[in-house]
Amino acid sequence: MDRILKKRLRLSLTLKFFFIFWVGASLITLATFVGTRAWVDRHNDNEQYIHRATRTAERIVDYYERAEQAPRKAQRLKSTRERRALKALRDSQGIVSIEREDGEQLITPLQPTKRPSSEIQISGQSGTTYLVTVKHPPITATINRVTRAISFSQLIFILIASAAASAFMGWYIARPIRNLSQFARSRPSHSNLALPNSVAKRNDELGDLGHDINAMASTLEQIADSQRTLLHDVSHELRAPLARLQAMVGLVEQQSTDSKATDRMHHELARTDQLITDILALSRSDLSSTSLANHDVYELIQEAIDNLRTESPDRQVSLFGNSLSATTDYELLYRAVENLLRNADKYSPNDRPISVNLFENNDNIIIQIDDNGPGVSESDLQKLEQPFYRAGNQMHTDGFGLGLSIVTRSLGQIGGELKLENRKQGGLRATITLKH
């Protein structure tokens, strides 16, 4: 449950790359756009501003020069009114001060300003030069204008363009990684699987990684192969001396009257032969290639049950379910079902029934094999699938602990899973899940 939730919450590499690139690219584009625009605007603004301020300053200078020549009375009357107007004019144009060349202040700064300012020289009608200090327009005005200048459609365009670019980046990086992990997963069961093109053709670190993984898989495969071949060959070779031993025991049996000893010899020989058969089956369940076809799972189980009946005719085995078709390897699935049935038979008292349920669940085919034996201690449950592992309470029955490894390996080849659990009402439940 926890794992499923985690898997659902897990962000894929593609999405991560997509978001990172998208947010990054959008911000960078936006910042560049705003920055350039602000710089250009500010430049233009300053020029215009200074131009207008210069003209205002000229009017002020003109006024002062005329006022100096005019009769005092008229000048005063006019000046009160005009002074106000000029003051408003001056303020709005950002003129801080005007200074005549001889040092007289026409307009003195009202208060010190921290804003940057420029100094311009102008000349009046009389030919006198004046120094005008003009403060720059406030920066907030520029920003307001720039943000107003970026239209909604431009913003959308930036977002879409960067989304497309980021999606491509995400895909470009994550796709080969995803293909590679898929390759690594299916490589063990398909030895001639080629490296996917999206990885193999890359001439970069990801391409190298792909080739390295491939090489590693081949090496592992060779090691595993030689090990299996050795196991297979050794088991096979052991059969010849075993056959001779059996013939010899037969000869001894013919000539002696003590049949007890030879019976025990035959029993041990049969056990050794069974071990060899199991090991061969185990190595074969790894070695054999799958041949997939449509099979009726119900009939397959029925056949396995029929076979079990030849071994223990008194055992009551019932199969519940309907005909269900699956694309699978008959031999491998049969081997798994047969081994589980035989385990159920071996590890539960003869008079207790075995029941097999076949049904579909979430598109998976489920085969449940329930026995009514003693079950298995929880600590042993996990280890049961290891070769040669036998749970503590089973030592008295014949067997070598290979059955369940044969089951899991056979199922592994056909994409099936095995789960073992103790049933509440007692006994062991073995569940095979076959993915459709």
Cα separation, 129 vs 125, in Å, equals: 10
**Minimum distance of other proteins from residue 202's CB (angstroms):** 44
* Binding status of residue 277 toward other proteins by CB under 8 A: yes
Q: Which is nearer to other proteins, 302 or 364 (CB)?
A: 302
**Minimum distance of other proteins from residue 246's CB (angstroms):** 5
How many C-beta neighbours within 10 Å does residue 289 have? 9
- Amino acid of residue 419: K
Buried b vs exposed e over 162-176: b needs ≥16 C-beta within 10 Å? bbebbbebbeebbbb
Cα separation, 411 vs 333, in Å, equals: 7
Stretch that binds other proteins, among 157-165, 224-232, 235-243, 424-432 (CB under 8 A): 235-243
Q: Which of 426, 376, 366 is nearest to 401 (CA)?
A: 376
**Minimum distance of other proteins from residue 281's CB (angstroms):** 6
Stretch that binds other proteins, among 130-138, 153-161, 248-256, 394-402 (CB under 8 A): 248-256
Q: Which is nearer to other proteins, 253 or 360 (CB)?
A: 253
Residues numbered 296 to 325 that lie near other proteins (CB under 8 A) are 299, 302-303, 305-308, 310-311
Q: Which of 29, 189, 246, 364 lies at the binding interface for other proteins (CB under 8 A)?
A: 246
* Binding status of residue 281 toward other proteins by CB under 8 A: yes
The residues, ordered by sequence, that sit 6+ positions from 32 with a Cβ below 8 Å of its Cβ are none
* Binding status of residue 287 toward other proteins by CB under 8 A: no
Run of H or E including 117: strand 117-123
Q: Which of 70, 160, 220, 247 lies at the binding interface for other proteins (CB under 8 A)?
A: 247
Helices 330-346, 259-287: axis angle to 10 degrees equals: 140
* Binding status of residue 149 toward other proteins by CB under 8 A: no
**Minimum distance of other proteins from residue 228's CB (angstroms):** 16
Cα separation, 300 vs 358, in Å, equals: 11
Counting residues that bind other proteins (by CB under 8 A) gives: 32
Question: Please, where are the H alpha helices in 259-329?
Answer: 259-287, 297-311
Q: Which is nearer to other proteins, 199 or 305 (CB)?
A: 305
Three-class SS of residue 147?
A: helix
Cα separation, 288 vs 245, in Å, equals: 30
Q: Which is nearer to other proteins, 140 or 350 (CB)?
A: 350
Residues near other proteins (CB under 8 A) are 236, 239-240, 242-248, 250-251, 253-255, 266, 269-270, 273, 277, 280-281, 284, 299, 302-303, 305-308, 310-311
